Amino acid sequence: MTAQNMKKIYLYSRFERFWHWTQAILICLLMLTGMEVHGVITFMGFEKAVDLHNTLGISWLILFVFIIFWLLTTGEWKQYIPTSKKLFAVAMYYASGIFKGEAHPVQKSEDAKHNPLQRLVYLGLSAILLPLQMVTGLLYWTYNDWPSYGLDFLSLEVVASIHMGCAFALLAFLIVHIYMTTTGHNITAHIAAMFSGWEEVPEDYKAEDWEVHKK
Considering only residues 18-57, where is the footprint of other proteins by CB under 8 A? Answer: 37-39, 42, 45-47, 50-51, 54
Determine which residue in the list 32, 160, 192, 207 makes contact with other proteins, applying CB under 8 A: 160
Nearer to other proteins, 71 or 169 (CB): 169
10, with CB counted inside 10 A (0-12, 13-18, 19+), is exposed
Does the footprint of other proteins cover residue 210 (CB under 8 A)?
A: no
How many secondary structure helices (H) and strands (E) does the chain include? 9, 2
To other proteins, the closest distance from the beta carbon of 157 in angstroms equals 4
- Paired residues of 201 in beta bridges: 7
Q: At what angle do helices 130-141 and 156-180 cross, to 10 degrees?
A: 140
- Inter-CA distances, 161 with 25, 54, 58, 134, Å: 23, 17, 20, 13
x-or-dash pattern for other proteins, window 163-182, by CB under 8 A?
-xx-xxx-xx--xx--x--x
Considering only residues 49-108, where is the footprint of other proteins by CB under 8 A? Answer: 50-51, 54, 94, 98-101
Does the footprint of other proteins cover residue 135 (CB under 8 A)?
A: no
Beta strands in 45-184 (DSSP E): none
What's 103's DSSP letter?
P
**Site of interaction with other proteins (CB under 8 A):** 37-39, 42, 45-47, 50-51, 54, 94, 98-101, 143-144, 155-157, 160-161, 164-165, 167-169, 171-172, 175-176, 179, 182
